[in-house]
Each structure stands twice: as C-alpha cells, then as structure tokens.
Homo-oligomer: A and B are copies of this chain.
C-alpha cells in the first residue's frame, strides 16, 4: 500500500511505501528542511503544519518548541511527526534550508529553467489528391507559419508516431520539439512538458517527475535498486558482470524496469502516462552509470580503474529501455573518474561549486564517499571506500532513519543512557546519526579510548554472545532484545571515519590549506541530513570548523539532476565543471596509510 505526502506551497508529491518522519519524507522529496540539531527535536527549526490528513498527537519534545495554540493549528516538528497515510504538509519559508536549489514557489530560485524540449501547438492543413505533400512537409509548413520554426527534422520513432497522431488528432497537435527535431505529437489539449530526473544510487533509485517549463518537481518516489539482488556494494555488482557477462543485460534492464514502474506511478499522479516523458537526466556513481549504459565495466573493477568516458552522453531513451515519448533522449552527465561519478558532479552543480573562489569542502557520504575541495579556481576530488556503516548497514542493530530508530544518545555522568527514538515508540535499532551520537558520547564518557577500544569494566559494557565487549543502549522490555553497540560496530564506524577523514586531510594538504581556512562544508546524502555537526566534529569525522559553516543538503545529486533535466544552461555549467574538477587517486598518495591511521583516532570531543 502506497500513500502520498504532499508538500505545500511547493507542490511536490512524494509517493511512499513505509512510515516515515515528515523530515525524512521532505528529504526524499528533495526538500531540505532547516535543522541545526540534525533532527533531534532540540533546535525547533523544522516546524511544519499538517494541512490535511490525520493529525498525530504532539510529543513532549514538540511541546517544548511549539505553543498549544500552534499545536492545535496542526503545527508539528517535522523530525518528530511520523506519517503512514495520505497527508498534506505546509512548509513555511522559515523551515526551508537556505541552500535550497530546487525551484519552488516562494523560495529563492537557484536556476532558470531552459528545457531542451518544448511543446508547441500546431494546426496543419490535411492532404487531398490535389495536395499530396508528405506528413513532414505539412507539419513543417504549420510550424513555420505558427512559430517561425524552420528546417525541422525527425527521427524514425517520432516519424512513426507522428503519422498516426496527425490523423488521430485531426491534424491539430501539440508538437514536442528538441531544437529543430520533432520528438512527439500529442492532442492539442496536452500542453505540459514533463521529464524525469533519476539518481541511480547503489541502494536506491530516486525518481523525480519535473515540469520542464517551470522547473518544478511535480512528484517524487524512491525505490530500492533491484541490482541489490547481486550484492549490496558496487564491487559485487561489477563482479557479477565480470564473472558472467550474461548478467550485464539483467543488471541494466532491471533498473530500467524499476524506473519505468516508478515513472508510470509518478505520471499517473499527474494524469499523464510515460508517453508524455520528453526528457531524462540520470546521474549515478561511475559503476551505476556504466552498468546502466551497458558499457563494459571490466576496466572499472581493476587498476587503473579507467572509465569509458568523462563527458556527458545523450542517447535515445529507448536505447536504455526507458519508456518515453518516441524521440525522447536521456542525458547522462559526465562521470569525473572511475570512483567519482556524475552524482557527485550533480551535487557540486547543485551546491554551486565553481561559481565563486571560496575555500569549500563538499562531501557526499555513502558506501563510497566522494569529497571535493575547492580552493580558488581549483577543485580537486577524491573517493574513499567508507563502507556502509554510516548508513546503518553492517552495524548489528543498524537500521534506516525510520520509526523506532535511536536517533540521539546521551550518556550521563553516572553512566545512565538516554535515547531519543524516531516516532517516540519502543527502540528497534540505531540509525546512522544515532551511531555517531553513541560514539561521541561513549568517547566522552571514556567508555572508548582514543583508539576506539571499549573499556571492559565500565558500566553498560558486557561481553556479548560472541565474547566480545558490547555496550547496551536500551534494555529490552517486554521480551524485546537489548539494543547494543558492539566493538565490531565501533570498528566499522572508525574505519569509515578514518577513510573519509584521510581523504579530507590529503585534499587539504594537496591544496595547501588548514581547517581554519575552510569557509563552508556542504554534506550531501541521507546521512548528512541527520548529521549533528557537533558530533561530526567531536569524533573527528570533519575538521575543526565553526558549526554555522557546516550545511547538510540532503540528496543534492537528485537536485542537480533535476537542474540539468530542466535547464540546458545547467548542463553546460556541469560540463564545464566536469572538465575542471581534478581527480586525485588517494591510493598512490605517499603516506596514505599515515593519514588513514590518524583519521581513525578518536579525539576527546
């Protein structure tokens, strides 16, 4: 059973399957809500109003920030309000993150739509025995007369569709043009040019239906990347193809099928069908890009990890198995390197990298973390294998930031633990930000030493079933299991932290700057939205930086993809950016191991 969360006045619809906080729903819809506490109900910045749908009872933490009058009017904290059925949410301008890049009503417009495809109404003279001119000649005459468009052309799929459409619409059509190429024809009444932006993540496909003329996102839905059946991480996907090249077909087509299914839902929510999709922009890491384009991935899997190309690709949507308007094409922005993909490029575009010369750090935290450092005219990027620990995977009680997840941990001086749980229900696990919080607090309470070893004998530390020490966060009541964090969990997280911090430090040394020089840190990815900057600095994940310089932008790759979908100017900007970003291969940097060892260490926050 799916349900829809509608955001006003932005007008975005998110189609969901599982219960979510409004904060998470907004993030998935590409709307970054303001937050200082990272969704812990302490900053009170994320207030929204439930306009339609079941009004949940306010929680105690919400009462601290919102008056009874406001609560009665439906105001709630987005990070505390769990939704599971159709609902309409009003987001006041003050609750929107300033770096918002998706063009929406009432918010700063970060880009001007300049779509590659437009719809034009045309009335055409029907043929007769004394006027046997071809379909294309007649259409060309109509477009010349009504719109001054000259020398139109058409590819085969559009020609085929056109021939039927002209006759079914009685020679009165809405013609879709990309430059001087006709790509589709609809009945005159259809005048809404739409396209699909997709962020092909290793774990999730995020699809956005966008109005090409206004640049507005009309509806959004995320689904699991079906490639997950071949393994969770990038390398297992590549290996599936290397071991048996017959897997390349299904690995591609299953993703296309999943996108088609979501696209059909999104279109249906607007009274449209996939035939109406006029343009596509798809971003992803380089492995996802190559797998989706059916480019041989062998050279990506072995040193020196060379991509097939590092420029944008524009191909027929049909060539990729995407259901669309007959002549629709798909724009695949440039991968930067074997391990820095077009999703990172989209993030840098959305975050306005390259538009000024400030010292800026951009981090997209995921299983692979891509980092870019801008200093003056230079932008250097690198990639580091951080593993899925920050996404809650490979952590014993790890889970996504959903209902029941421990999101905040506080360890008092007496060793007692206080946990804050999404949805205010009984704890079922730990999400990424909870893990980070636990780590910082455990270090502060000296349960962990500087090397991250758990100190047996401390309150709460007990040997788990496997004999290794584990720290109990929540004691299971009513037959529920204990929620613990084990030494192995800590190790996973420290390895991830070490990898990311090493990357940051190497980039800083390469460009000759120190922490104090950093003017802005922009963090993308789901994890970033929930990240408490205080903790991130406390555990040494980020360099020492004033908190107001650290910003989370949610799925900025999706935002960048939407910008490139609706604006050819943004495509040009991205293409220039792709040429400009230098790639640094961390593994051949002398002293890499030292950076890594230093990055693992836990400072006393």
A413 proximity list for chain B (CB < 8 A) = none
Most buried by B among A132, A162, A295, A587: A132
Q: Tell me which residues from 229 to 249 in chain A have a Cβ below 8 Å from any Cβ of chain B.
A: none
Let me know if A160 and B310 touch, CB within 8 A.
no
Given contacts A129-B303, A129-B585, A588-B129, contact A311 B136 (CB under 8 A): yes
Which of A10-18, A151-159, A195-203, A473-481 is near enough to bind chain B? A151-159
| Residue A519 lies at the interface, judged by CB distance under 8 Å to chain B | no
A130 proximity list for chain B (CB < 8 A) = 585, 588
0/1 per residue, A177-201, Cβ < 8 Å to B? 0000000000000000000000000
Given contacts A129-B303, A164-B296, A337-B132, contact A309 B156 (CB under 8 A): no
Q: What separation, in Å, do the CA atoms of A129 and B305 have in the docked complex?
A: 8
Q: What separation, in Å, do the CA atoms of A299 and B307 have in the docked complex?
A: 48
Let me know if B129 and A309 touch, CB within 8 A.
no
- Smallest Cβ distance from A128 to chain B, in angstroms? 5
Given contacts A127-B304, A129-B588, A588-B129, contact A295 B159 (CB under 8 A): yes
| Residue A163 lies at the interface, judged by CB distance under 8 Å to chain B | yes
Let me know if A308 and B136 touch, CB within 8 A.
yes
Let me know if B296 and A160 touch, CB within 8 A.
yes
| Residue A268 lies at the interface, judged by CB distance under 8 Å to chain B | no
Q: What separation, in Å, do the CA atoms of A156 and B294 have in the docked complex?
A: 8
Interface size on A, residues (CB 8 A): 45
A468 proximity list for chain B (CB < 8 A) = none
Q: What separation, in Å, do the CA atoms of A315 and B316 have in the docked complex?
A: 12
Let me know if B299 and A163 touch, CB within 8 A.
yes
| Residue A2 lies at the interface, judged by CB distance under 8 Å to chain B | no
- Smallest Cβ distance from A288 to chain B, in angstroms? 16
Closest to A286 in B: B134
Q: Tell me which residues from 274 to 329 in chain A have a Cβ below 8 Å from any Cβ of chain B.
A: 293-296, 298-299, 303-311, 313, 315, 319
Q: Tell me which residues from 117 to 167 in chain A have a Cβ below 8 Å from any Cβ of chain B.
A: 127-137, 154-156, 159-160, 162-164, 167
| Residue A404 lies at the interface, judged by CB distance under 8 Å to chain B | no
Let me know if B127 and A310 touch, CB within 8 A.
no
Let me know if A338 and B160 touch, CB within 8 A.
no
| Residue A111 lies at the interface, judged by CB distance under 8 Å to chain B | no
| Residue A592 lies at the interface, judged by CB distance under 8 Å to chain B | no
Q: Which 9 A-B pairs have the closest CB atoms?
A: A136-B309, A134-B310, A163-B296, A129-B304, A127-B306, A134-B307, A156-B315, A163-B308, A127-B304
13 intermolecular pairs with C-beta atoms under 8 Å apart = A128-B304, A129-B304, A129-B587, A132-B305, A132-B585, A133-B306, A134-B307, A135-B309, A156-B294, A156-B315, A160-B294, A163-B296, A164-B296
Q: Write the residues of chain A forming the contact surface with B, with a CB cutoff of 8 angstroms.
A: 127-137, 154-156, 159-160, 162-164, 167, 293-296, 298-299, 303-311, 313, 315, 319, 335, 337-338, 583, 585, 587-588
